[in-house]
A and B are shown apart, each in its own frame.
Chain A
Amino acid sequence: MSASQRRDTRSERRHDTRLDLGRLFASLRGLVVKETRHVLRDRQTLAILLLMPLVQVLLYGFAIRTDVRGVNVAVVDPTPDAVTRALVLRVDGSVRHDVLDVFPTSDPLEQQFAAGRIRQAIVLPTDVSRRIARAEPLAVQVITDGSDPNAGSAMASYAEAIVRRWYAESVVAERGPAALRGGGSAQIAVETRMRFNPTMESANLFVPGLIALVLTIVSAMMTAIAITREKELGTMEMLLVSPLRPATIIVGKVVPYAVLGIMNIGIVLGAARVVFDVPVRGSIPLLLAQCALYVVTTLALGIVISTGARTQRTAMLAALGGLLLPTIMLSGFIFPIDSLPTPLKAISNIVPARWFLVIVRGIMLKGSGMSVLWQETLVLFGLTTALLAVGIRRLSVRLD
């Protein structure tokens, strides 16, 4: 190369740097528009992708969540009187519970649970009325059959709610409404205990797991398929031979699937709220931010798969076997992590859905904030960064 040519190249490069951002933006816009057209023109796939989360919510909601109606309850009441009878009537009167027996001691409970005659017991202490009248702390125990964790947690929270409402009314009746102010409710401690599955690890609503599942399909699988499709068709070669950097190509490719993924989160949360009245107890912005992080995680998973897979078929099978199954089986979605055999428990640590589930359950069901969830968030963030690095690195090793 002659000296003058070299100078040309160098000055051109300077010139390029100035234009790089504008150029990059124009290229990215071109890629995103193109990818969006691919998505919008494949109407069948688009319809499936948008309807699937809705169908899944209904399916999991109706079929898998056990209906908690007609739960047989025993009440243990050592010192029955009008106040405790009010509780029995209240429990029996609720649409979900039927009081079968009132026992003076908790001795028969063991046998009643084992025989399956009752699924729940409410154990009162002695001298309930006196304790309420004197504003002494009242410790009530709610024991629930936890063999079906989903139903168990629902039963437990319904029973607890009834007990608390009864307590509040009793306090008002005995000591007037003023007694409730100044932390009157703190005087009752409802201890919920699970039989058969004491930790209730998987006792959760199905929504967090469902979000993970849907995102795995929409963001990870569709990204993997869309990228391998270009490899299969030969169009990826045209992009790689252009001045675009691999990272730009990938960002342009995944943006529409990120948008689809976020739309799907909205569908799942909305449907769960409208149809099954599933609340979000914690901060919604935090929930959305965490979901956005997980969208990036799944996109990265899709990219990693696409760099290994040569055909769309391989990509799809890899996504199903390598992503969907772990997301269902090893994330705590269906089986509690604690109940997994040790090797699988170890593997579950690198399944991003496992961490995502803890986070979303925390926010949705317990109202937890970042002060509680920062470790899981950090792990998820770390996994995502690692996956992205691997994906982009493997893509940079250009096609052979």
Chain B
Amino acid sequence: MNAPPDKAPPASPHTASAPLADSAPLAIDARGLTRRFGDFTAVNAITFDVRQGEVFGFLGANGAGKTTAMRMLIGLLEPTEGSAIVAGVDVVHDADAVRRRIGYMSQRFSLYDDLTVQENIRLFGAIYGLSDARIAERSEVLLARIGLLESRKELVRRLPLGWRQQLAFSVALLHEPQVLFLDEPTGGVDPITRRVFWELIYETAAAGTTVLVTTHYLDEAEYCDRLTIMVDGSIAVAGSPGEVKRALGVTTLDEAFLHLTRPAAAT
């Protein structure tokens, strides 16, 4: 066996911050995606694309529409207008096929805490139609990576929050989705776990899985290959962290965010 390649510290999987070639195939292609609730337009004709293997940041204040946008992309919500191709499948016409190809981790912890680690994994394996052998194989790999192999018979409720979140992340990857959607995955976890989490995200992206992540933490946004900042249902700015900062003439994403979300304070 050859020596494994050196493991990079949490830095972009695409070293030297070289963005993916523009020619990389698209994992997400959203065109004019719109969602209205009655008179209220939660998401207003957003158009963006995410290339395969990218870590794509979805930023915005609370209520800016990022969760609504994400729910349309994962087939939980029907768009009022517009279209989106996710993992090569049209979300509007074949939401079922989309769901089979994506993984999702919601901002709320969403495994069953009265089941054990293993029982949760078996359940989601069965739901995604994996064979018993495949489930065993995948859970070995995923649990070993987050150091939970020893605790597989433990009730999830007994695990510390950080571990539970990592477990939820691993379960979302169980069926090897092409695109992974993370809705504020690091909410409420300590800084160390946040760091571990981003290592996991990078490893996942390096293995070829596209990751779309919403977050409140602007330092985390710096880790993304590209990002969008949503304001009032529209995309206010998009690009790599560097491009976004240059476009707005600011030095940190923090400033960029404030500049966009609190224009009243600027005048």
Contacts and interface: CB of A to CB of B under 8 A. Distances in A.
B109 A19 contact: no
B126 A29 contact: yes
Question: Looking at chain B, what size class is its interface with the partner chain?
Answer: 20 to 34
Given A8-B88, A9-B94, A241-B99, A234 B127 contact: no
Nearest to B172: A238
Interface in A28-53: 29-31, 33-34, 37-38, 41-42
B112 A38 contact: yes
Contacts, number: 84
A237 B106 contact: yes
A234 B100 contact: no
Interface string A44-88: 000000000000000000000000000000000000000000000
Given A9-B97, A26-B126, A234 B110 contact: yes
Given A31-B123, A34-B112, A400-B37, 7 more contacts: A34-B123, A234-B109, A235-B111, A235-B112, A239-B127, A245-B96, A399-B76
Interface in A1-32: 1, 5, 8-9, 12-13, 19, 23, 26-27, 29-31
Contacts of B94: 9
Contact of A243 (B96, B108, B110, B123): B96
List the 3 closest pairs (A to B, CB-CB), nearest first.
A30-B126, A234-B108, A23-B129
A398 interface: yes
Interface in B110-151: 110-112, 114-115, 119, 122-129
Interface string A237-271: 11111111100000000000000000000000000
B128 A12 contact: no
A244 B127 contact: yes
B122 A30 contact: yes
Contact of B88 (A1, A233, A245): A1
A29 B111 CA distance: 18
B13 interface: no
A243 B96 CA distance: 5
Determine which residue in A13, A41, A233 has the highest number of CB atoms from chain B within 10 A of its CB, and name it.
A233
Nearest to B74: A241
B104 interface: yes
B225 interface: no
A242 B123 contact: no
B119 A5 contact: no
A16 to B, nearest CB: 8
B90 interface: yes
Interface in B33-77: 37, 74-77
Contacts of B88: 1, 5, 8-9
Contacts of A29: 126
Interface of B: 37, 74-77, 85, 88-90, 94, 96-97, 99-100, 102, 104, 106, 108-112, 114-115, 119, 122-129
A242 B76 contact: no
A242 B114 contact: no
Contacts of B126: 26-27, 29-31
8 contacts: A27-B126, A30-B126, A37-B114, A38-B114, A235-B111, A242-B124, A243-B99, A400-B77
A233 B127 contact: no
B29 to A, nearest CB: 9
Given A9-B97, A30-B126, A398 B76 contact: yes
A19 B89 CA distance: 20
A244 B95 CA distance: 11
B122 A241 contact: no
Contacts of B37: 400
Contacts of A27: 126-127, 129
B129 A243 contact: yes
A42 B115 CA distance: 11
B123 A241 contact: no
A12 B129 CA distance: 14
A42 B114 contact: yes
B108 A9 contact: no
A240 B111 contact: no
Contacts of B102: 241
B89 A30 contact: no
A233 B114 contact: no
A244 B94 CA distance: 13
A342 B110 CA distance: 49
A241 B70 CA distance: 12
B97 A41 contact: no
A238 B114 contact: no
A13 B101 CA distance: 13
Contact of A237 (B76, B115, B124, B129): B76
A101 B51 CA distance: 100
A338 B217 CA distance: 67
